[in-house]
Amino acid sequence: AVRYQVNRKNNIQMACDTSALLQDLQKRITLLQRRIHCPPDGIEIDEQLRRARYSVEAYLHCYSAKWKWVPPEYYSLTLPHRAKLLNALKIQQLCKSVLMENKQFKFAVGKANDRTYSRYYLVVVQYTSVISNKKLELAIRKLRKVSEGRLPTNCFEFSVAKEVSKSG
């Protein structure tokens, strides 16, 4: 099969080998992705990264976020050093995400995908702040209107979720 393609100088070239054409297209896609995501050399843009970025942009409509690559040792650096790497003016601008577990969650009360009563919540908070379990409980309880049967306070008891190893 004979294929035609247009090169960068708008000249038509004949490509007889479709596998060469596909390889060329894949190479061009990879170069475009590297230009968009700006990863450091040696970092592959995998499906997980594409999916995460797409979710933020498409579902949350957040196009103003600036994605920043950090070195592998980022989490062992001091907070002032991390702030400098991220171009933050002060460490109070840095945030962390903490997975909180509701120890009082009961499957009989909760239903699937119910944000008003779930076993786990991902909380984003400033590094210099402390998570208040009482404020978290109140915020989550307020997600459900009183008319929809707001849950009592004894349905909530939050703590940082334990890390589970990949082996079990």
pLDDT tens for 37-79 read 666 677 777 778 778 877 888 877 777 777 777 888 999 999 9
Q: Cα-flanking dihedrals φ and ψ of residue 6, to 5°?
A: -105, 125
Note whether 124 and 97 are within 8 A (CB). yes
Q: Which residues of 86-106 are buried (b: 16+ CB within 10 A; e: fewer)?
A: eeeeebeeeeeeeebbbebee
Burial class (CB in 10 A: 0-12, 13-18, 19+), 134: exposed
- Mind listing the pLDDT tens digit for each residue in 118-144? 999 999 999 899 999 999 999 999 998
Average pLDDT of span 24-36: 78
Contact at 8 Å (CB) between 62 and 56?
yes
* CA-to-CA dists, residue 29 to 11, 36, 72, 121, angstroms: 20, 11, 26, 36
- Residue 124 to residue 88: CA distance in whole angstroms: 17
